[in-house]
Amino acid sequence: MIPKLFQWLLGAGLFIAVWLAFVLEKVDIQLTEIQRTLVLISPLLAVGIFGLVSAAEEIQQQIKEAKEDLSRKGFKFDDT
């Protein structure tokens, strides 16, 4: 089993390699202006989406911890 860090580094390395190939026009493919713009900003989009997913997971964890804390203090939750 490959450690999670190496999986992330491999994925990021592959993404950067493909991205650079498109940006430096090493791939013989015709892109429209919109497609070229999307390729150029795709790393920013990826970082933004990763940040949103991480924030959502952190908020869910905080909600879970808050519910556990309130349950210990006697608060009852409806299971809806």
CB 77 within 8 A of CB 71: yes
Residue 2's pLDDT is: 81
Residue 80's pLDDT is: 56
For the chain, 80 residues long, the average pLDDT of each consecutive 10-residue run is 89 95 91 93 94 92 93 84
- Enter the tokens of residue 28: 């013989």
Residue 61's pLDDT is: 94
Please state the three-class secondary structure of the chain as a single string: CCCHHHHHHHHHHHHHHHHHHHHCCCCCCCCCHHHHHHHHHHHHHHHHHHHHHHHHHHHHHHHHHHHHHHHHCCCCCCCC
